[in-house]
Chain A
Amino acid sequence: MAELKTEEMILNMGPQHPSTHGVLRLELVMNGEIIEDVKPHIGYLHRCFEKHAEAMTYPQVIPYCDRMDYLASISNEFGYAIAVEKLMGIEVPERVEYIRVIMAELQRVASHLVAIGTNGLDIGAFTPFLYCFIDRERILEIFEITCGARLLYNYIWIGGVSRDIPEDFQKKVKDFVKYFRPRIKDLNNLLSYNKIFIDRTANIGVLPPDVAINAGASGPTLRGSGVKFDLRKDDPYSIYDKFDYDIPVGEGEKGTVGDCWDRYMVRVYEMEESLKIIEQAIDNIPEGDVLSAVPKRVRPQEGEIYFRTETPRGELGYYIISDGTVNPKRVKARSPAFCNLSLISQISQGAMIADIVAIIGSLDIVLGEIDR
């Protein structure tokens, strides 16, 4: 039978769509059920981060860093704080470093829980989403007793943290680690090794490692393709070199290396590694004053710096230019989700239309960070 010819059709997905993780618009060029091309349209959440950074003083920029990647606020302010500290030559006390690392790793678990839950939710698994959120709620409780906020913390300050950890912090964190280990097993039984879930994600949206590297992908998206690159190990900052943990990579367990399932599974493994770091750090927090190194006036000398950290989404870099005043001259953020999203057209060509939600879910984008 001769090939049936179909008309090319353009389908708009978003900006209001439950599976686009915010306000993203995708222009899908379809051939029947098959995707021929995807054009992401962004800018629906452009909140002028750079303009604000120019107008604010250095410490005032921190809340805006929070609001960039609102699922991982601590990780965002972490990077910014270290960059400014490097610019000013501040040495932070050991206690602060430990607190920061514990908080950042807890944040990584919380962020991955949302990524995993919504990835399942998008392709029809509702129950794991509820499980993930109840666990995340426990982490938020720890954040709340520490800094008073549930989502946007303004906790990591330049030179320190805004307040010391409460008395029962260590016990609460330990309880959480103990509670959460078996929950990962439950999650695996519920979702990761679920036949339907594997069918929907394995061999879908395969991202070859060379393409990922060329596009500047980072984080679980890059590691899902089997590239062992994590800034915590490869360019250690803070005190990450003191701990013993692994960098999980995708191995093509259920399909091809770099498919949606691999990217998903890297996040699950990473949660376990984060628990390891937390366990090693929690008992060794040294005594000290968390506010001792916080400068009264943040006014770096002229200069510039680029500093990158590993957030749950990948390599987040801050490029700061200082002209010697209290306001930064320029703060540019290099957003990991932006680079990861740019891959979407290449990895979804030839997929079915229903697979696009699985692909978006596995990339784990946050629009606040893409548009800034």
Chain B
Amino acid sequence: MGILNKLDSKVEQFESGNIIITSADKLLNWARLSSMWQMSFGLACCAIEMMATAASHYDLDRFGIIPRPSPRQSDVIIISGTVTLKMATRVKKLYDQMPDPKYVLSMGSCSNCGGPYWEHGYHVLKGVDRIIPVDVYIPGCPPRPEALLEGLIHLQEKIRSQSIAKKVS
């Protein structure tokens, strides 16, 4: 039972029938993290590494991550490359169009902080986190596909620990 293994702890199964009991959080998180549909949205050089990761050698599909061309069908946006000032408003708009829950992965130095264009890039946004909230940062210029995969796994870990209940403060 693959599903049961993935839900791991606190799952109860009854002997007859297909009834299992688990918490709503666990079920939702499991569903979300196993099919993170990514928006196919490339910005610059890092996008080529993203394409290479999605193609045959590194095969992103095995993580349940497939590219979707529309923001309205995607869960994750990978900011793969340099965000220029002209593009920044468009990136923000794309992010706003995505349905909740949505996650942002910042791939490469450029979208983390401006990267090689940090000092003299008069037209480069110094970090995409100035316009949208970022969940996971991946360093590198460009990050290797392995690094991107690790970033995605970190994001899955993050989703695993979410809760729909409001925390009592």
Contact = CB atoms under 8 A, between A and B. Distances in A.
B124 A47 contact: yes
Interface stretch (A126-134, A161-169, A313-321): A126-134
B32 interface: no
Contact of B45 (A18, A70, A134): A70
B57 interface: yes
Given A47-B117, A67-B116, A134-B57, A151 B86 contact: no
Interface in A41-68: 43-48, 51-52, 55, 63-64, 67
A16 interface: yes
Contacts of B119: 55
A151 B43 contact: no
A129 B124 contact: no
B82 to A, nearest CB: 6
B44 A368 contact: yes
A22 B121 contact: no
Interface stretch (B48-56, B126-134, B151-159): B48-56
B122 interface: yes
Contacts, number: 97
B56 A47 contact: no
A122 to B, nearest CB: 11
B57 A70 contact: no
Contacts of A52: 117, 120-121
A43 B82 CA distance: 12
B141 A152 contact: yes
Contacts of B136: none
A137 interface: yes
A185 interface: no
B41 interface: yes
Interface string B64-98: 00010101000000000110101100100010000
Of B57, B94, B122, the most chain A CB neighbours within 10 A belong to: B57
Contact of A64 (B69, B84, B86, B116): B116
Nearest to A41: B86
B109 to A, nearest CB: 11
Interface of A: 15-18, 22-23, 43-48, 51-52, 55, 63-64, 67, 70-71, 114, 129-131, 133-134, 136-137, 140, 150-152, 367-368
18 contacts: A16-B94, A23-B90, A44-B84, A45-B43, A45-B82, A45-B84, A47-B84, A47-B123, A55-B120, A63-B116, A64-B116, A70-B44, A71-B48, A129-B55, A133-B52, A151-B45, A151-B142, A368-B45
